[in-house]
Amino acid sequence: MMQKPRDRLFVALDVDDLKSADMLMNRMQGLVSQYKLGAQLLTAAGPEAVMHVRRRGSGVSYDAKFHDIPNTVETAVTNACRIGATIVNVHTSGGSDMMTAAARAARDVAKKLRQPKTLVLGVTLLTSLTQGMLGQELGVRRALVNQVVHLARLAQAAGLDGVVASPHEIKAIRKACGPRFVILTPGIRPAGHARGDQKRTLTPGQAMAAGADYIVVGRPVYRAPDPAQVVRSIYQEMEDALA
């Protein structure tokens, strides 16, 4: 993948309304060209938020994390593709049939509307989960990294374009699923930034060096006094790691 750092960063727009989203995007105008929209903004502003960011000329990763029966997920992914999401995600734990339905929906919309195909990614394990939580709460006995690789393989076999995983699992997924399988990773913390609720974090440079295609950064950017400055230093770190 030969894209510039700019094409490989999504800034999370975790705000409560479109006005705040616009204010944030204005501060990064000309610098950031892709945003990640998730539960926070979408429950407040709805799908209009996706269309709004697209109209501003930016790419959108629609962090929907759909997890439902196949028919429901198929129609939801269809709608996400129709409103122009560049990327949409579903939970791999929804199973193979659900993921196959999601992949089919994206292909069908691209064909019907003659627009670029929305990438469909499978969320493996949330970056806020730990090995202890996996065993004690979810009853999964496998080592966390092995469970992530298992879910990534399932996603690939179901026809998804890639997965969402923590930076700690990038190398193992790459090895198991090959160079063309897309890996998008949140849980990114530039040096000196608070981890917050994220448990499995790495810096932007480390994530690039490990083989991530895309990184998602939220709080370290939107809570900074000067978001543009943080973005510039992230790009620099990414560039250094890729050089």
Q: Which is nearer to ligand C5P, 123 or 238 (CB)?
A: 123
Q: Is 112 a catalytic residue?
A: no
List the structure tokens of 174: 């790459």
Instruction: Closer to ligand C5P by CB, 53 or 217: give it.
Output: 217
- Cα–Cα dist 59/227, whole Å: 18
| CB neighbourhood size of 211 (10 A) | 16
Residue among 65 and 107 whose Cβ is closer to ligand C5P: 65
Eight-class DSSP state of 232: H
Among the listed residues 79, 198, 199, 211, the single contact to ligand C5P using CB under 6 A: 198
Among 112-120, 141-149, 155-163, 217-225, which window interacts with ligand C5P (CB under 6 A)?
217-225
Give the Cα separation of 215 and 223 in Å (integer): 17
Contact 87, 127 (CB under 8 A): no
Residues 143-171 as b or e (16 or more Cβ within 10 Å = b): ebbebbbebbbbbbebbbbbbbbbbbbbe
Residue 102: count other Cβ atoms within 10 Å of its Cβ: 31
Of 158, 216, 230, 234, the one binding ligand C5P (CB under 6 A) is: 216
How far, in Å, CA of 133 to CA of 226, rounded? 35
Please work out the total of residues on this chain that contact ligand C5P, with binding judged by CB under 6 A: 16
Which of 164, 182, 183, 215 is close enough to bind ligand C5P by CB under 6 A? 164
- Using CB under 6 A as the binding rule, whether residue 204 contacts ligand C5P is answered as no
Q: Which one is catalytic: 19, 65, 117, 199?
A: 65
Question: Which of 186, 204, 205, 227 contacts ligand C5P by CB under 6 A?
Answer: 186
Annotated catalytic residues are: 65
What residue ranges bind ligand C5P (CB under 6 A)?
A: 12, 14, 38, 63, 123, 126-127, 164, 186-187, 196, 198, 216-219
